[in-house]
Chain A
Amino acid sequence: MKLFIRYLNLMVVTIFILIVLSFFLPFLFPGDLLTNISGIVAQSADQRTALEQVYKLDQSIFHQFIFYIESLLNSNWGVSTNDQSNLYQEVSLAFPATLELVGYALLVSIIIGIPIGFISGLKNHNPFDFSVVTFSMVGYSFPVFWLALIFITIFCLQLEWLPISGRIDLLFDVPVETGFILLDIARSDIPNKPDAYLDALHHLILPTASVAIVTTALFIRFTRRSIMDVMDKGYIIAAKSRGFTQRQIFFKHGLKNALLPILPILALQISTLITNVMIIETIFSWPGIGRWLIQAIYQQDYPAIRIGMLIVSLFVMAMTITIEFITRAMNPARERAESAAV
């Protein structure tokens, strides 16, 4: 419980700092401050004064900050400079698409990476282990954007197995509700649902694969190293000397101790994963937050950049702290270190 409050506190403070930073961003952007904040180019002096009053630019910076927090909480995130579209709606459309991609890539990496890492770490220095190490090294070394382009060349252009871009064929008119394509299909009432699922999955394969290969390779390497270290530990030798079965030793003593040190490392990989997903979104025209943000940067859409960066950094931070918290809560030995350090 004490631990939970500690982490909650950490989270709140970090969120506050992020909000402060994002509040000061428009002051640093080039151009008119009012346009940077509101997204509207004032056409007349009257409109300008009206806008200044709305955004409290005529009052102290403290009032402006309070207003900023209020509007963030009221999901009144302003409008885009380019097309005056509501940023809150745009983000709530784009963000689930990114989450979807991140989630599937993470799932694939965990399901494939961790068991393979365990297998090759437990029976190390045999042909299987060597090939796993080699392939994970190769997989880890691929630049994501290059891998995606190669995939497109092979599977889309040469073999014509998979679609190049988008989340679903335009033929399927799926109304957007949650933003997660598979959920949306389930909730919609279009006539040919199985085909729609199949099509959406087809669209998912390549982006997920290109992100997941790098992450999987990383997970394999971490897991393998960790289980190798753990299996050399004194308590494993002691367990062997007590004549426990291999299965008993691995599941009772090896698994948990091997996973505990790698969980925080995996949590750190989430930011890398999101960066990769943003690149992949651009390549595959996946309508996610990464592509949206890069578009905004191209068009110097400052209100959009501000909100986009805030949302992405909030997400990364929340994920990292949550996983850290879970690891801490699971690991009994960490408590002592914690009370010793500050």
Chain B
Amino acid sequence: MALLDIKNLTLYIDIGGDTVKALDKVNLQLDEGEIRALVGESGSGKSLAVRCIIGAIPEYWSIKADRITYQGQDLLNMSYEQRRQIMRREIAVVFQEPTSSLDPSVTIGEQLEESIPPELIKRGWFWQQNKQRKRIAISLIHRVGIKDHDQYLKAYPHEIPIDVSQKIMIAMALASEPKILIADDSTRGMESTTKTQILRLLEKLNKTKKLAILFVSHDLLAITSVAHSMTVLYCGQTVESGKVKSLLKRPLHPYTKALLDSAPSFQLSLPTKSPLIALGGTIPTLQHLPAGCRLGPRCPNARKECVIVPPPRSIQDHTYSCHFPLHVPEKIAKRAPKLSRGLGADD
């Protein structure tokens, strides 16, 4: 059974009296012990999806979903307190900007000790408990690969380098011994040695602790090196999802193909001095979302049928949402929906 199961998650954002669907029927599944990557360009709604999962949403957002469940428990309809408990113990998040996710006025050590749940502390007098907390904090910090605990535990967030604070964020996430770790673009803007360290760390945690990781990123190289499966988002729509290997080998959605083509490292056969392949145009803004499949205006295979949102289709565990997938050019006529019937059914 899936640990985290999201079906048809739609997020409405109120932008000055107008409501837009920032996420449109996003599907996401995270199985036990797997690393799933959530891929997409900047602005494709990856971080929005993360915020919907953790429930930290402002008042002018509203969520509609067929289900968001954690181990079969419905996250959307449970009480605030129950949800808080789950967030406290089961799900942990590492946010994309480590420096702004740490309280600037409290030392790292205090913040780390704060995130250790009280259930993990053995009973005793408060000084014994404090000692335990400190010991746990030090072991956590060692676990994420920082040896110099004295220097960093007493430091304030602005005094430490970004890669260290990213590791400390991971340590804080691990403090509650969670089942799921959501890493929201944890390697963004890092130099490659640090990035490799963090990726190895996540991989190790996944292998040794059976930690399920939702790895949100746009870094295809990083994803292909750690993730088992991936979900591709474009502009708030799930485009394709499946095992990383099969997606790399045979992308079914034009967007996935364009995404893979845009990273030259996947194209060993690229001749010298040939132009890099990229889709024309840019990702549309929230105010000007196209109807139907949002890739429509940029898609090389688009036809008029694409103004209707394609339903997800699966081949084994490989799911895609496209009227004209890359592998079945001959079946286009049969599968394409009738325009007259389908138009307006989905607004």
A residues neighboring B (CB under 8 Å): 125, 232-235, 237-245, 248, 252-253, 256-257, 260, 331-333, 336
Contacts and interface: CB of A to CB of B under 8 A. Distances in A.
B95 A257 contact: no
- Size category of the B interface is 20 to 34
Contact of B158 (A237, A240, A253, A336): A336
Nearest to B96: A234
Given A238-B95, A241-B93, A245-B84, A332 B156 contact: yes
Given A234-B100, A235-B100, A332-B156, A242 B105 contact: no
B105 to A, nearest CB: 5
A232 B114 CA distance: 20
B105 A256 contact: yes
B187 interface: no
Contacts of B56: 237, 240-241
A260 B105 contact: yes
Nearest to B110: A252
Interface centre among A234, A240, A243 (most CB of B within 10 A): A243
11 contacts: A238-B101, A238-B102, A241-B87, A241-B92, A241-B95, A242-B172, A243-B86, A248-B114, A252-B114, A257-B104, A333-B156
Interface in B83-120: 84-89, 91-93, 95, 97, 100-106, 114-115
B101 A234 contact: yes
A333 B105 contact: yes
Contacts of B51: 237
Contact of A237 (B95, B105, B114, B115): B95
Contact of A253 (B55, B58, B92, B106): B106
B54 interface: yes
Interface in B45-63: 51, 54-56, 58-59
Contacts of A240: 54-56, 87
B204 to A, nearest CB: 22
Given A237-B56, A333-B158, A242 B92 contact: yes
Contacts of B172: 242
A248 B114 CA distance: 10
A336 B173 CA distance: 28
Interface in B65-96: 84-89, 91-93, 95
Nearest to B87: A243
A275 to B, nearest CB: 33
A332 B105 contact: yes
Contacts of B115: 242
A336 B159 CA distance: 8
A234 B176 contact: no
A3 B159 CA distance: 18
A239 B88 CA distance: 10
B101 A235 contact: yes
A243 B103 contact: no
B102 A235 contact: yes
Contacts of B158: 332-333, 336
Contacts of B100: 233-235
Contacts of A238: 93, 95, 101-102, 169
B95 A125 contact: no
A253 B114 CA distance: 11
Given A125-B59, A233-B100, A336-B158, A241 B105 contact: no
Nearest to A237: B56
B156 A252 contact: no
Given A256-B105, A260-B105, A331-B105, A241 B54 contact: yes
Contacts of B85: 243
Nearest to A255: B105
Nearest to B89: A243
A243 B114 contact: no
A245 B102 CA distance: 17
Contacts of B156: 332-333
9 interchain residue pairs of minimum CB distance: A243-B88, A243-B87, A234-B100, A238-B101, A332-B156, A241-B54, A241-B93, A235-B103, A234-B101
Nearest to A256: B105
A252 B106 CA distance: 9
Nearest to A332: B156
Nearest to B81: A245
Contacts of A331: 105
